[in-house]
Amino acid sequence: MTNETASSIEVDEKTGKLSVAAIWKDVLSVVKIGIVNSNLITTFTGLWLAFYYMGEGFLENLQTVFFTLFGSALIIAGACALNNFIDRDIDHLMERTKKRPTVKGTMEPKHVLWFGILLTVIGTLSLLMTTVTAAIVGLIGVITYVFLYTMWSKRNNTLNTVIGSVSGAVPPVIGWTAVDPHFHIVPLVLFLLMFLWQPPHFLALAMKRCEEYRKAGIPMLPVVHGFAITKRQIVVWVACLLPLPFYLFPLGKAFLVIATLLNIGWLALGLYGFKMKDDLKWAKWMFVYSLNYLTILFVTMVIAAID
């Protein structure tokens, strides 16, 4: 940074205007950079496994890698920006969302709207540089997240978590189809892993934030039906994950053992919740476990597929 730039930023701060750092922080908040980063991990895993199963080299396909990750990052960021635009009327009611730029007024809603659309368009064009299938899968994720989840189910019924899980399960499929656009059991398993992982993850979060969701009028399962039913559903969703790693047996015994232990550990923690009296403490444990579960599982897949 030059002295001239630093000086201009200082003047902006003194006049009460947003500094470059503050504007950048708002942009990262609008696109939900944490969600973008976590989804890029699963996108990369799908891409990496496709190279492994198809017998293609990673370094020989760096162009595909770039357009896949760049395009995926942009469409995810675009969908998140559109989510911010749509939810600005309820975000001020929740502690974790009340500081978003669309709530504080540091970014104009119309700017966020067009920013989200622009990111989605550029991201889709980037994915088209790989395969048409990858671009279509990406758009399915955006449409599901923006229209079916944010605009409809989130505000109307307790199935919102399940419907939203479709968009969250799309990134590894984008990664795979960018390399191989034809049907294969692996991207299906990756989709199911992500789809089944999300309800217990987000239902645990909904339990932690139950009163905030109630205040905002969002019909999350624990708000409408209580903690007991929510806990039972969480355990059922986790149990459904148990057989999926065995469909990825070519990744080796070490992967199967680690994945199975992760599943059993999560299920055991879920069942332990029926004995715990502190539901919120249990929900916090389940939420933290889910984050570590996803990271360890997908990193293990990548390591297992290294020749």
What confidence tens digit (pLDDT) does each residue in 252-281 have? Answer: 999 999 999 999 999 999 999 999 999 999
14/176: higher pLDDT: 176
According to the model, what pLDDT value does residue 40 have? Answer: 97
Let me know if residue 17 belongs to a domain.
no
Contact 112, 101 (CB under 8 A): yes
Specify the DSSP element, H or E, that contains 142. helix 132-143
Let me know if residue 257 belongs to a domain.
yes
Is the pLDDT at 178 greater than 90, yes or no?
yes
Let me know if residue 15 belongs to a domain.
no
Cα 96 to Cα 16: distance, rounded to the nearest angstrom:
25
Measure CA of the first residue to CA of the last residue in the chain; give whole Å.
42
Contact 245, 264 (CB under 8 A): no
Mean of all residue pLDDT scores within the chain: 93
Q: Which domain holds residue 233?
A: 23-304
Give the tokens for residue 199: 């309800």
Instruction: Provide the 10 A C-beta neighbour count for residue 95.
Output: 10
Task: Give percent above pLDDT 90 in the chain.
Answer: 88
According to the model, what pLDDT value does residue 21 have? Answer: 87
Task: Give percent above pLDDT 70 in the chain.
Answer: 94
According to the model, what pLDDT value does residue 2 have? Answer: 36
Contact 299, 275 (CB under 8 A): no
Is the pLDDT at 17 greater than 90, yes or no?
no
For residue range 162-172, list pLDDT tens digits in order.
999 999 999 99
Let me know if residue 2 belongs to a domain.
no
For residue range 68-116, list pLDDT tens digits in order.
999 999 999 999 999 999 999 999 888 888 889 999 889 999 999 999 9
3-state secondary structure at position 133:
helix
When divided into structural domains, the chain yields a total of: 1
Cα 119 to Cα 283: distance, rounded to the nearest angstrom:
34
For residue range 137-157, list pLDDT tens digits in order.
999 999 999 999 999 999 999
Let me know if residue 14 belongs to a domain.
no
- Average pLDDT value for residue range 184-193: 97
Let me know if residue 3 belongs to a domain.
no
Let me know if residue 1 belongs to a domain.
no
Let me know if residue 166 belongs to a domain.
yes
Cα 54 to Cα 77: distance, rounded to the nearest angstrom:
29
Contact 143, 203 (CB under 8 A): no
201/99: higher pLDDT: 201
Is the pLDDT at 6 greater than 60, yes or no?
no
Distances (CA, A) of 244 to 252, 291, 300: 14, 18, 15
Contact 175, 50 (CB under 8 A): yes
According to the model, what pLDDT value does residue 307 have? Answer: 66
pTM of this structure:
0.91
Q: With helix as H, strand as E and coil as C, how does 239-272 read?
A: HCCCCHHHHHHHHCHHHHHHHHHHHHHHHHHHHH
Instruction: Provide the 10 A C-beta neighbour count for residue 228.
Output: 11
Phi/psi-derived region of residue 10, left when phi > 0, alpha when psi is between -120 and 50, beta in every other case:
alpha
Cα 152 to Cα 113: distance, rounded to the nearest angstrom:
18
